[in-house]
Structure 1
Amino acid sequence: MLDFITRQQAENHFHFYFLLSYRLEDQTKKLHKDMKKSTEADLAMSKAAVKISADLLSNLLCEQDQAFLESMTALDTAMRRMDAFNQEKVIQIQKTVIDPLKKYSGVFPSLNMAVKRREQALQDYKRLQSKVEKYEEKEKTGPVMVKLHQAREELRPVREDFEAKNKQLLDEMPKFFHSRIDYFQPSFEALIRAQVVYFTEMHKIFSDLTDQIDQAGLTDEQRERETEAKLSELRALSIVADD
């Protein structure tokens, strides 16, 4: 009975860490996918901002209004600086977060194969153990004893193979799972530092841009009222009046 409880505890211990490893694999792959999508979106955002500023800079108003030209030039310069810093940030995140996540995900196929080999060994063990138990329950005749001896001899190496595979996984799976903190902590610290550096630079860039283009010091509400006033003037023109 004690041996059965011990085996059951070991089996429960194995399945506990197997489930943890399965969740860890799923979460690592999801995080890797999300990080790639995030950096791709970041690059698309800054590229779009550069495209918008370039389009504004090529607007006909820039040929007619010097103040507008200066504002759009300042905006275009700021967007290109933002894009450059964004690319540096993405490269840093790729090296320190995305690549390590990919490498970590590459470990799981080997772990999963070891689990499959252990499961196959367990099935072989159970099959031969059941065969031994069947002969043990029969009447102890000469032929039965011979078959029992043969079944036990066949069982021995299979049991040893399973116990070796089982022990290796029970020893190493907890170590593998708990090592995730030491592995990922530097990556996430690097991610935070990359974001801090980037947004610090963005604060400088947009503060400089504000100083260059916000000479009037108007609030958003005042600008909105100005826009509405100009739009009302346009609507008053006969060429856009409703019939």
Structure 2
Amino acid sequence: QQPKPYLIGYNQDKNTDQTKKLHKDMKKSTEADIAMSKAAVKISGDLLSNPLCEQDQAFLDSMTALDTAMKRMDSFNQEKVNQISKTVIDPLKKYSGVFPSLNMAVKRREQALQDYRRLQSKVEKYEEKEKTGPIMVKLHQAREELRPVREDFEAKNKQLLDEMPKFYHSRIDYFQPSFEALIRAQVVYFTEMHKIFSELTDQIDQAGMTDEQRERENEAKLNELRALSIVADD
């Protein structure tokens, strides 16, 4: 009797690809976060070194407050990224490391199945022939050769049938703490950002103007500059 293949219904290649993609996207996200905060610090530093700061105390005070806020933001952002690396990115990488061993176990089981089928076909071939003395000897030898191969396949197959569902269903339990930690890291970061930028607004937004009012004021100032004779028309 031919062995039943007992095909495992879990697509490990898909799981591997999705885990690797998630790991890659998380790394890209944190790298972008770091680049953003570093760029903000660079901009505030450039503004603080602007010659206008030497000429206008109010502008100097505003740029100093902005620079301090950007550095605080960068510090909290680095803490957030470090936390995400420990609780999300590193666990994803470790989880991906399980797949090579798992895939190897599946391949060993498939090889054992092929050997089993090959020897089983050999036994069936002798069983179909006329029962002469030599044929019966060969049949006995083929059955003896088949027995350990069958046992090996059944052991490997049973191991996968027992352990693969456990592995498959453990994914949520494994990832849940990581994503909870990701949410907490984001909550802490954005709570601090709200504090930082609220304080910054109180320091530099004394006029309390709306964005529309600021836009109109900037346009008016620009029109004054355009009216100067030293400014060429577009």
TM-score over 0.5 for the alignment? yes
> Against the structure 1 CA distance between its residues 21 and 230, is the aligned structure 2 distance closer, same or farther, given a 3 Å change threshold?
farther
Residues 159-209 of structure 1 show CA distances to partners (whole Å, capped at 9, x for unaligned) of 000000000000000001111111111111111111000000000000000
Q: TM-score under structure 1 normalisation?
A: 0.88
* C-alpha contact (below 8 Å) 2:8/2:161 kept by paired residues: no
* C-alpha contact (below 8 Å) 1:97/1:188 kept by paired residues: yes
* Unmatched 5+ stretches in structure 1: 1-17
> Against the structure 1 CA distance between its residues 20 and 169, is the aligned structure 2 distance closer, same or farther, given a 3 Å change threshold?
closer
* Unmatched 5+ stretches in structure 2: 1-5, 11-16
Structure that is richer in helix per residue? 1
Tell me the number of residue pairs that the alignment of Structure 1 and Structure 2 aligns: 223
SS in 1 for 2:7: helix
1:65 is the counterpart of 2:56: yes
Moved over 3 A (4+): 18-22
Distance (whole Å) between structure 1 residues aligned to residue 196 and residue 74 of structure 2: 11
> Against the structure 1 CA distance between its residues 83 and 19, is the aligned structure 2 distance closer, same or farther, given a 3 Å change threshold?
farther
Distance (whole Å) between structure 2 residues aligned to residue 221 and residue 185 of structure 1: 44
Aligned to 1:21: 9
Using the TM superposition, give the Cα deviation of residue 241 of structure 1 relative to its aligned residue in structure 2, in angstroms: 2.5
Using the TM superposition, give the Cα deviation of residue 146 of structure 1 relative to its aligned residue in structure 2, in angstroms: 1.3
Using the TM superposition, give the Cα deviation of residue 242 of structure 1 relative to its aligned residue in structure 2, in angstroms: 2.9
Q: Which moved more, 1:205-214 or 1:137-146?
A: 137-146
* C-alpha contact (below 8 Å) 1:32/1:98 kept by paired residues: yes
Distance (whole Å) between structure 2 residues aligned to residue 54 and residue 112 of structure 1: 52
* C-alpha contact (below 8 Å) 1:21/1:177 kept by paired residues: no
RMSD value, Cα: 1.7
Distance (whole Å) between structure 2 residues aligned to residue 194 and residue 21 of structure 1: 36
Distance (whole Å) between structure 2 residues aligned to residue 177 and residue 208 of structure 1: 48
Q: TM-score under structure 2 normalisation?
A: 0.92
Using the TM superposition, give the Cα deviation of residue 49 of structure 1 relative to its aligned residue in structure 2, in angstroms: 0.3
> Against the structure 1 CA distance between its residues 177 and 100, is the aligned structure 2 distance closer, same or farther, given a 3 Å change threshold?
same
Using the TM superposition, give the Cα deviation of residue 102 of structure 1 relative to its aligned residue in structure 2, in angstroms: 0.9
